[in-house]
Chains A and B, each alone.
Chain A
Amino acid sequence: MELLNKIFVAPFADMVSAPDFLMQVLWEGLVSGVLYALIALGFVLIYRSSRIFNFAQGIMVVFAALTLVGLHEMGVPAWISVALTLGVMFGLAVTVERVVLRPLVGQPDIILFMATIGITLFLIGFGEIIFGGENKQMITADLGIPTGDVVLEPFGGLLILQHIDITAVVVAGLLVLGLLLFLNRTRMGRAIRALGDDHQAALSVGISLQTVWVLVWFIAGIIALVTGIAWGSRAGVSFALEVIAYKALPVLMLGGLESITGAIIGGLMIGMLEKLFEIYWGGPLLGGNTESWFAYVLALIVLLFRPQGLFGEKIIERV
């Protein structure tokens, strides 16, 4: 009875009795969720345009953040470091397309997937050689990101919004919006959406595989940098950041690998649900630290009932 009460009654009673705290929890979930959604979008873009599941997305976050911080440590002004890092991510996109993707065109998906694991390992080693393996501080202040907080008082309670978080949500939100416009409205965006389905068909309507691939890997690189800055500001820049990107995996399982809307909604859902679960159920019942696994279990449960994800295109097999 006690247990049932703790599962079905107490959490909701808590939510109602302290709505300001609930809002705080939801806000923090939203911040994580926006970033998950952003990373998931990076995966979806690459998957849709090439049917490659890009295992390297996680390490790209670390690599971008390391490059940014590393350049700044060498005495390059902060904003020029950002520009240079974008240049490096573009260089990475071109290199990946040239050295890895182009020679492997037409190979089975699993081979391309393995190749992205290769890219991951390479970036880990390369990053450590150049920037070292120790934990670094994100250059939040130098980038002009405010570090204070906004205090609101909804329902006579207290709601604290960190400036860093607000900035992250706004920037990530704008980036998502920009990507949506780009994908749905522009020539290139339509090409990206078409390409993954059939390479030959894409070529026959005048789409260049190479250009699109470089572009999606570069977009994935930009996303990696933004996520790297946002997350690095909270947790420091180290190879542990890679784990954040893997949170995009359950997001993808929820949202479906192909669905852009799915990635966004999935990301926000996971971000908020894992926070809610941690605070209202995980903490009291399981002693906390549920955030590290909650998303994966949730995704597993969804997969049992909807293998194509919540928003994935329905798989229809013609026999």
Chain B
Amino acid sequence: MKDTIEPHVTEDGRQIGGVLMEMKNITLRFGGVVAIKDISFDIREGEIRAIIGPNGAGKSSMLNVISGFYHPQEGEVWYRGAPRPPMKPYEVARQGVGRTFQNIALFEGMTVLDNVMTGRLTHMHASIWDQALWWGKAEAEEVHNREQVEKIIDFLEIQAIRKTPVGRLPYGLKKRVELARALAAEPSLLLLDEPMAGMNVEEKEDMSRFILDVNDEFGTTIALIEHDMGVVMDLSDRVVVMDYGKKIGDGTPDEVRSSQDVIDAYLGVPHE
């Protein structure tokens, strides 16, 4: 099911480019358990790509493969047109792949601002001495990094809690701070692991808006995993559907929605 989408402009005027990341025949096993079985798909520049599927379908495993937390036994991950050797998660991060986690991974003892600042670590290049003494380009760099961070804080509307230790924030806001930190790194590819899990309707709407805005404003390519079908269908350009570690569907929300395999495996009886 190899698609042949050319770079194009979507109806709402966003630019979809060439292939940014491609998974080629990925198989991931944990001992005897096959978490992902021979899955291939690609992620194009500028699009919002969703991975959906029932619990235990292997979605999170797939995200972990992309971000380097897991290493598949078979298959290749291609990034920017070249195969990527097995990498540690921090190396993947330095290549421009940012992510959030299903169970929020924040630096709880630090303030929101400091948390988001850590997202800029990969953008600090001044030498250790310059940084310590604020000589040379270190100061300019610091100022620039702060500006970027403030921009993102404004963008995600968390100015009011900038100085609050993250540990004190409610769940929905933590999720937003985590998104802010990932964004601060200016990732080429942003991976969101269930960005709306555990949120109420209002928070979900906010988060959807932010995801769309991020994609629209910064042109960030986004790959997300989500349970909430309605949300996914509204958000994404293309959807991969997984079930029991296999890919059972891939295409636009409409195509996926009408695919019999997907309906059988995941959606059940369509509502219309």
Which residues of A are at the interface with B, using a C-beta cutoff of 8 A? 178, 181-182, 185-188, 190-191, 193-194, 197-198, 200-209, 258, 313, 316, 318
Contacts and interface: CB of A to CB of B under 8 A. Distances in A.
Given A205-B185, A313-B109, A178 B99 contact: no
B269 interface: no
B108 A198 contact: yes
Contacts of A202: 90, 107, 118
Contacts of B182: 204
Given A194-B110, A197-B106, A197-B110, A205 B118 contact: yes
Interface in B114-172: 114, 117-119, 121-122, 124, 128, 131-134, 138, 165, 167-168
Would you call the interface of chain A mostly helix, strand, loop, or mixed? helix
B121 A203 contact: no
Interface string B203-247: 000000000000000000000000000000000000000000000
Contacts of A193: 110
Contacts, number: 92
A185 B131 contact: yes
13 contacts: A182-B128, A186-B128, A187-B124, A193-B110, A194-B114, A200-B105, A206-B94, A206-B121, A206-B122, A207-B90, A207-B121, A208-B90, A258-B109
Interface in B57-74: 67, 69
A182 B94 CA distance: 22
Nearest to B97: A204
A205 B116 CA distance: 10
B132 A182 contact: yes
Given A185-B132, A204-B93, A191 B105 contact: no
B88 interface: yes
The winner among B88, B94, B105, B138 for most chain A CB atoms within 10 A is B105
Contacts of A197: 106-110
B132 A186 contact: yes
Interface of B: 67, 69, 88-91, 93-94, 98-101, 105-110, 114, 117-119, 121-122, 124, 128, 131-134, 138, 165, 167-168, 181-182, 185
B67 A204 contact: yes
Given A202-B118, A207-B90, 8 more contacts: A182-B132, A185-B138, A201-B107, A204-B67, A204-B90, A204-B182, A205-B185, A206-B91
Given A185-B131, A204-B98, A198 B121 contact: no
Contacts of B91: 206
A185 B141 CA distance: 12
B69 A203 contact: yes
A206 B108 contact: no
A314 to B, nearest CB: 9
